[in-house]
Amino acid sequence: MKPINEMTLIFPSKSSNESLARVVAAAFASQLDPTVEELAEVKTAVSEAVTNSIIHGYENKIGEITMHCKLYSDSIEIAVTDKGKGIENVELARQPLYTSKPEMERSGMGFTVMEAFMDKVEVITEVGKGTTVVLFKTFKFLAG
Amino acid sequence: MRLQNNIQLDNNKVAKGGYALDIKLSKRGNALIAKFYGELDDHTVEYARQKIENEMIKPAVKNIILDFSNLTFMDSSGIGMIMGRYKKMEKISGKVAIACSNPQIIRLLNISGISSVIPLHPDINSAVKTLRGE
Ligand SMILES: Nc1ncnc2c1ncn2[C@@H]1O[C@H](COP(=O)(O)OP(=O)(O)OP(=O)(O)O)[C@@H](O)[C@H]1O
Ligand SMILES: [Mg+2]
Pocket probe mutation, ligand 1, options A44, A55, A56, max atoms within 8 Å of Cβ: A56
- Domains along the sequence of chain B with CATH: 13-132 (3.30.750.24)
For residue B12, the model assigns a pLDDT of 35
CA distance B134 to chain A (A): 32
Which spans in B1-134 are helix H?
45-56, 76-91, 103-111, 114-117, 124-132
Interface test with A, best of B16, B75, B110, B112 (most A CBs within 10 A): B75
Nearest residue in B to A116, CA atom:
B111
Residue B17 has pLDDT above 90, yes or no: no
Q: What is the pLDDT of residues B57-82, one digit of tens each?
A: 888 889 999 999 999 999 999 999 99
ipTM reported for the complex surpasses 0.90: yes
**Is B75 in contact with A16 (Cβ distance < 8 A)?**
no
What is d(CA B42, CA B56) in angstroms, rounded to the nearest whole number?
21
pLDDT at A83 over 90: yes
Task: For B94-125, give the DSSP string.
Answer: --EEEE---HHHHHHHHHTTHHHHS-EESSHH
pLDDT of residue B6: 38
CATH code where residue A29 lies? 3.30.565.10
The count of domains in chain A is 1
Question: For residue A108, what are the domain limits?
Answer: 5-143
Q: Could you give the count of Cα atoms lying within 13 Å of A17 in the half-sphere of its Cβ?
A: 20
Whole-model pTM: value is 0.92
Going by C-alpha positions, the residue among B102, B87, B131 that lies closest to residue B18 is B102
Answer yes or no: are the C-beta atoms of A68 and A81 closer than 8 Å.
Answer: yes
Contact B75 A55 (CB under 8 A): no
Indicate the average pLDDT of chain B.
Answer: 86
